[in-house]
Amino acid sequence: MSVLRFGYVTGPLLGALWMVVLSVTVAIAMSFATGDPVRPNMSVSLLWGAVVGYLASQRLGGTPGRAIAAGALILLTLFEVGPLDFGPAASIWTRASAAAILAIAFVWSLYTILDDVAKGPLTRHEFEGAVIRFLTGFGYIFFTAIVLIPFYVMVMTSLKNQSELIQNPLDFSVDLSRGTELFRSYNELFTQFNFGTYLFNSFFISVLTVFITLAFAIPGAYAVARLRFRGQTAFSRSILLIYMVPMIVLALPIYIAFSMTGLRNSFWGIVMIYPVTTIPVALYMLQGYFRGLPAEIEEAGLMDGLSRLAVIWKITLPLSLPALASVSLYVFMIAWNEFLLAFMLLDDPSKFTLTRGIASLNSSEIPRQHLMAGSVIATVPIMAIFLGLERFMTKGLTAGSVKG
Amino acid sequence: MADATPPLGTGPLAKREARLAWGLLTPTIAAVALVVILPLLAIFWISVKPVSLADLRAPEVVLREDLRGSPEAAGDEATLRYRLRNSSQEQPILGVRFDDLVPDGLEIVDLDARCSLQDQALSCDLGDWEAGYRETLTIPVIVTQAYLDNAIRPQDSPPRVEGRSSSVLTDGTFTLNNFARIFQADEFLEVLWVTLFYTVFGTIGALLVGLFAALLLNKAFRGQGILRGLYLFPYVAPVIAVAFAWLILFDPFSGSANALLVQMGVTREAINFFGERPLALIMVTVFEIWRYFPLSFLFILARMQSIDGDMYEAADMDGASPFQQFWYLSLPQLLGILSVLFLLRFIWTFNKFDDIFLLTGGNAGTRTLTVSVYEQAFAISNIGAGAAVAVVIFGCLLTFSIFFLKYISREEGL
């Protein structure tokens, strides 16, 4: 490692690697945005990255130096000896913007990465600082890309039509002149495929699940957290164990029982089953929160003559409203996203939930953009709730989501 | 003065508290028993029964009645006809009988020996039936004016049918064939190996990626909240939506990933990501990592933010480099949450069904134990064998839980 700890080694090395990262990123981003053929040239990227890295580590030129380096990179790219290669079909706009974005982003970010790298020997601090800044930059790009690309593909595919998709799978640019035609898939889903009903079903079932879950979990969690009784430890452990039983193991007998009693294909069958899958989670989350509440307030209430139940209703619950919000959101999310039980227990299209409805779109006769539009319809509400109430949601997730 | 001694045993107050506790817990216990404990017992029962999907429908007597011979005036002759059959082609029905109300105004001329008539109530005792048995009962009648005047027709009064049949689910036949079948199948070892690969690499991968993401966001900067929300997307979105998005992204014919790889010069031909043997398993594992890294990220970040900053300042003063600080200070502090997460995620990944089912349906060497439950029970229609696989899963989980309780209860203070 000590061989690397010289400014004139670290600089070119990080520069070369950083150029590879950025040229791949820009190439993918430009391809996805315009559909034009852009690809990174690895060996050339390494070369020019190392050159700029050397300049940066030697503190050559200051700000004008950066501008010159960036300008040179743009020209090199446009004359096809730079880090990016373009296919003949690439438009001049694609070439110019890709070259400019890459050059400017690269030069400025690299100078930041190599900020306190000295010309000669480096201390361990300086060297590791530079490596960490490089890894941080890489991390942001990497995570943002892997999270966004599937959702980007989902949304854009839903706005296109079959022939466009086959012709160039990379072209996600949207022709705005088509106007409302863009949303044709959504329109068809709502008018011909009953997605309005599914949306309502999903919403109704999820809300009902939340209420039933809370009705069972609040008393249970309170008992486990506050009251002393024999078997308390065993009980709180078995909550966690029940959590561990896989749904598919339970789904089989439930399917048999529902088939024999005629509860399959019924709303109430689903509403009966969903809360039981969420009660252990909710109970586990809530008892953790109840334990954290100061017992003295409740004892004061007891001294003043309230009964236990009145204490729960008038003191504990108002104090735990944030926790109740988190639990409700989390339970809502589980019920909204639930797929396995809906898939096994519902066959009648008039009673489908959204997830079951999307599963029914997965056939070769239905175009792919419908499938993706359905996915968007299912994803958008939960995302909106999530982003709006992110604070509660995050807390809820950390408190209870040992569950997958 | 008597000695003050602490009370022994449980006093009335403690008893009341315990009673209230059980009262509050009863609804939950009842619900969980009904939907978790009972099905678990049922799984053991079914796993030793030769049950197939078709057996779920109990054999029953199908009965249709009508009046033949379109009578027009009083005194016309007609035939009251009952057509009956056993709906099952495999199972007999014992003690078949039915009761029916003959409409007013039909005078019965001749009665079958097995039937009896009281006023207008007809009841017939048809004895035991073979599988697939059919029978047509004809009863000649004379129509009177009363029948023509009122609008009640024979089919308007629904007959009451009785018959006993034994269902495989409840009778006394037991078999170990289900277990023999799944253990002897060539693919059983492969299923175990695939489950192990998926579980181990999925869990470790999600933990490492989550740790990296947590390290990235463990500092205050503008937009940190947005990025944190963004990185949770894969976990919050419905699994069916993201699984299909992945399938379309990696489609071998018109997927963007393949187009991109071809354009980048990485590959010449399109790769069938979810259809080729070793690759499909790797892809579903990568999907698992992608979908669940947010969870470990969230937990690890929460733990990191509770570590005291002074320690790092002291380490800085002593000349520890950033990597040393991570290795010698942060990691030991994170070990607790990492091991808890590992155990929990290990069990949950082991239990995972939806993801693989949606991505590959268990094809191309991605059949885990959970997918194989579905495969046996519904694709091959052998519910007994599916239940047997479920029992195997349950056995594995019991083993994990012993570990789990040993460690978790210490970490979580339960």
Instruction: Give the domain CATH number at B344.
Output: 1.10.3720.10
- Distance from the B194 Cα atom to the nearest Cα atom in chain A, whole angstroms: 18
Spell out which residues of chain A touch residue B254, defining contact as CB-CB under 8 Å: 165-166, 169
Number of helices (H) and strands (E) in chain B: give both, helices first.
Answer: 16, 8
What total of structural domains would you count in chain B? 2
CB contact under 8 A, B248 and A393: no
What is the C-alpha to C-alpha distance for residues A198 and A209, in angstroms, rounded to an integer? 16
| Residue B16 within a domain | no
Quick one: which of B124, B249, B284, B305 has its CA closest to A146? Answer: B249
Residue B37 covered by a domain? no
Query: Residue B413 pLDDT > 60, yes or no?
Result: no
Are B160 and B266 part of one and the same domain?
Answer: no
Q: Does residue B29 belong to any structural domain of this protein?
A: no
Question: Which pLDDT belongs to residue B410?
Answer: 62
Is residue B243 in a domain?
Answer: yes
Whose CA is closest to A284, among A332, A327, A338? A327
Does one domain contain both B368 and B248? yes
- Summarize pLDDT for B286-344 with one digit per residue, the tens: 999 999 999 888 889 888 888 888 888 999 888 888 899 999 999 998 988 888 888 88
pLDDT(B172) > 80: no
Q: What is the pLDDT of residue A145?
A: 94
Predicted pLDDT of residue B408 = 63
Taking the C-alpha atoms of residue B109 and residue B136, their distance in angstroms, rounded to an integer, is 17
pLDDT(B153) > 90: no
Residue B171 lies in a domain: no
Q: End-to-end alpha-carbon separation of chain A, Å?
A: 41
Distance CA B47, CA B384 (A): 5
- What number is the average pLDDT over the span B153-158? 76
The long-range contacts involving A259-265, CB below 8 angstroms and separated by at least 24 positions, are: A259/B56, A259/B57, A260/B56, A260/B58, A263/A345, A264/A345, A264/A346, A264/A347, A265/A345, A265/A346, A265/A347, A265/A348, A265/A351
Query: Domain of B224?
Result: 177-412
What residue of B is the nearest CA neighbor of A154? B245
Q: Which two structure tokens, joined as six digits, stand for A304?
A: 């003043």
Helix (H, G, I), strand (E, B) or coil at B78: strand
Which of residues B130, B164, B198 is at a domain's end? Answer: B164
Q: Identify the structural domains of chain A with CATH numbers, from first to last.
A: 2-167 (no CATH), 186-400 (1.10.3720.10)
User: Is residue B159 pLDDT above 90, yes or no?
Assistant: no
Integer CA distances (angstroms), B183 to B176, B194, B379, B392, B399, in order: 11, 15, 18, 10, 19
B181 and B252 inside one domain: yes
Residues A228, B17: C-beta atoms closer than 8 Å: yes
In a domain, B240, yes or no: yes
Nearest-CB residue to A337 (from B22, B239, B408): B239
Mean pLDDT of B16-43: 87
H or E element in which residue B135 lies: strand B134-143
Same domain, residue pair B158 and B245: no
The helix/strand/coil state of B64 is: strand
Flag whether B2 is in a domain. no
* Same domain, yes or no: B189 and B115: no
Q: Looking at A171-180, B136-145, B275-284, which range is the least confident one? A: A171-180
Q: What is the CATH number of the domain that holds B143?
A: 2.60.40.290
Give the pLDDT confidence score for residue B83 in this predicted structure: 85
- For residue range B179-221, what is the model confidence (pLDDT) as tens digits? 888 888 778 899 999 999 999 999 999 999 999 999 998 887 8
Q: How far apart are CA A74 and CA A66, in angstroms?
A: 12
> Do B192 and B276 belong together in one domain?
yes
Q: Would you state the pLDDT for residue A149?
A: 93
CB contacts of A124 in chain B (<8 Å) are: 321
CB atoms A237 and B36 under 8 Å: no
Quote the mean pLDDT of chain A: 86
Question: What residues pair up with A6 in beta bridges, in sequence order?
Answer: A121
- Are the C-beta atoms of B213 and B352 separated by less than 8 Å? no
**Side chain identity, residue B63:** L
Distance from first CA to last CA of chain B, Å, rounded? 43
Q: Tell me what pLDDT residue A139 has.
A: 95
Report how far residue B403's alpha carbon sits from residue B396's, in angstroms, rounded to the nearest whole number: 11
- Say if residue B158 is exposed, middle or buried (CB neighbours under 10 Å; 0-12, 13-18, 19+): exposed
Domain boundary among B164, B195, B226: B164
Q: Which residues of B touch A393 (CB under 8 A)?
A: 232, 236
Regions of chain A with pLDDT less than 70: 1, 61, 393-404
Question: In A, which residues are within 8 Å of B358 by CB distance?
Answer: 339
> B115 and B149 share a domain?
yes
Q: Is residue B226 part of a domain?
A: yes
Q: Are residues B346 and B279 in the same domain?
A: yes
Predicted pLDDT at B82: 83
Percent of chain B with pLDDT over 90: 21
How far apart CA A246 and CA A238 sit, in angstroms, is 15
According to the model, what pLDDT value does residue B1 have? 54
- Within a 10 A sphere around the Cβ of B115, how many other Cβ atoms? 18
